[in-house]
Amino acid sequence: MNKSELASFLDRSQDVLIGLSDKLWDYAETAFEEWKSATAIKKFLAGQGFFIEDKSGGIDTAFCAVYGSGKPVIGILAEYDALSGMSQQPGSVVPEVLTPGGNGHGCGHNLLGAGAVGAALGVKEYLGANKKPGTVKLFGCPGEEGGSGKAFMAREGVFDGIDVAFSWHPMAVNALLDMSLLANYQVLYKFRGKAAHAAAAPHLGRSALDAVELMNVGVNFLREHVIQEARIHYAITNTGGFSPNVVQPVAEVLYLIRSPKTPQVEEIYRRINKIAQGAALMTETEVEIEFIKACANVVPNKTLSKVLYDNLSKEQLPVYTAEEIAFADAIAPTCTKSREAELSQWIGPVEEDLRVYTKRLEGKNLCDLVMPFYETTADRVLPGSSDVGDVSWNVPTGQIVTACYVLGTPEHSWQLVSQGRTAIGHKGMLLAAKVIAGACVDVLENPELVQKAQTELDRRLGGHPYQSAIPKTVKPKAISKL
């Protein structure tokens, strides 16, 4: 079997992969409660001859599906979690709730999961047909959204012994995800005060809600005194009830603290803890600080990016039907991300390329080309985070994105949910499966790539081994259990 036969095999498998992707879209389960989604993938891969190691790292909805034996050992990362409250009709060009209060795949992890499964299936076929040594491990990674499932898995050593890892993400372009993302901590601050009648006995009450408000004011002043790249977000997850005439005895605020490197996050976290303690002191309440999760910054790997780029630039890109183009043209006006913001994210500071690619895509809402790859330029940092970061500290990791949505589609939006169950999304998913499977073939045929990628990772880490930022006692938590 050669690469083009492998691509044809995946073309023949597309119906089953699309079926799996749509099933995950329909289930739309959120972090660490992806019971049906994980079962669907496990069942499918077990039926294809993969051996299933269940509950990887002690997480109920994590798993590892293994095929083959011997070296190299290639990891492929799959995700399948949805976002809460994002229910949306598929294939619609207007916001329309499908299930009131329901969840939705606002980050396209249904496509991500099915595409990763497709890549693993392709590698299995290649190993079998060519009787090659080598092992493929499809990691079922739950809770990427707000849960950092992979960081918990990495803390438990789930990725030990893997030579290289590949992943991808649905986006609006075909490109390398060859950049760093921010490290983060998520922390819940729980204030406890004393309830009292707010009019009759206000002097007896100690307001936890006041404490939350004062803490947020303190942190908002802190913003001026942190590094430029840091990001601090919060959500008040418990306001202490709906009665203004009761002094709120309980209130909680969830913080997400981000910065390019984990030690920077740690420093800001310690300062925020002082502000929380100060707010408690001011209000005579008590604060409990609960560490929810952390993830490391992503360490890109040019060696693997190059392998992925070679495959992406040689692969046949999706051809869209008139109906798909009409759908794209109808939904595009609702998409708020500007063309410049969309493309500069991938092209970065190379202004000439930005002009060239903007011109090439003029008048088009679907990306039908591959963004340039800069092998020698310095790493860029995107202002987001991914738990792939924790994998990338342990294993050389390469990632791509493929066009699954119209240009300008904002992340975590109804437009994205809508497009995740359309032929446009499916075509991008199949492309990702082919490109990753092709990159795996290159690793199987050129074992020196493993050493080269590992040497690059060692150089980038500069002698600092991976240390999980999540305390040993912290367990993954579903959103519904916060």
Residues that bind Zn ion (CB under 5 A): 107
- Residue closest to Zn ion when measured from CB atoms: 107
Which of 430, 387, 384, 315 lies closest to 139 in space, CA to CA?
387
Overall residue count recorded for the chain in this entry: 482
140: left (phi over 0), alpha (psi -120 to 50) or beta: beta
Q: Which is nearer to Zn ion, 272 or 424 (CB)?
A: 424
- Nearer to Zn ion by Cβ, of 193 and 420: the residue is 420
Q: For residue 328, what are its two tokens?
A: 């794209």
CB of 144 to Zn ion, least distance (A): 6
Q: How far is the CB of 147 from Zn ion (least distance, A)?
A: 12
Block residue for tokens 């798993």: 63
Of 272 and 436, the one with the shorter C-beta distance to Zn ion is 436
Q: Given the complex with Zn ion, which of 145 and 252 has the nearer CB atom?
A: 145
The distance of closest approach from Cβ of residue 343 to Zn ion in the complex, given in angstroms and rounded to an integer, is 20
Smallest separation, CB 50 to Zn ion (Å): 24
Helices (H), 205-350: 208-222, 262-283, 302-314, 322-331, 339-347
Residue 462 burial (CB count, 10 A): 6
* Shortest distance, position 184 Cβ to Zn ion, whole Å: 14
* Cβ closest to Zn ion, residue 107 vs residue 265: 107
Report residue 416 as tokens.
Answer: 């994205």
Output the smallest distance, CB 283 to Zn ion, in A: 38
- Give which of 89, 79, 103 is closest to 421, Cα–Cα: 89
* DSSP H or E run through 141: strand 134-141
Q: By the 8 A CB rule, do 218 and 193 touch?
A: no
Preceding peptide of 249 cis, ω within 30°: no
Residue type, 128: G
**Rounded to an integer, what distance in angstroms lies between the CA atom of residue 414 and that of residue 402?**
19
Minimum CB distance to Zn ion smaller for 354 or for 479 = 479
Nearer to Zn ion, 65 or 107 (CB): 107
Residues in Cβ contact with 294 at an 8 Å cutoff, skipping those fewer than 6 apart: 148, 151, 183, 184, 185, 186, 262, 265, 468, 469, 470
Distance CA 50, CA 48 (A): 6
Compare residues 79 and 125 and give the one whose CB is closer to Zn ion: 79
Closest approach of Cβ 471 to Zn ion, in Å? 25
CA distance to 279, 359, 373, 418, per residue, from 171 (Å): 41, 20, 16, 14
Residue placing its CB nearer to Zn ion in the complex, 31 or 343: 31
CB of residue 276 vs Zn ion: minimum separation in angstroms? 29
Nearest approach, Cβ of 107 to Zn ion (angstroms)?
3
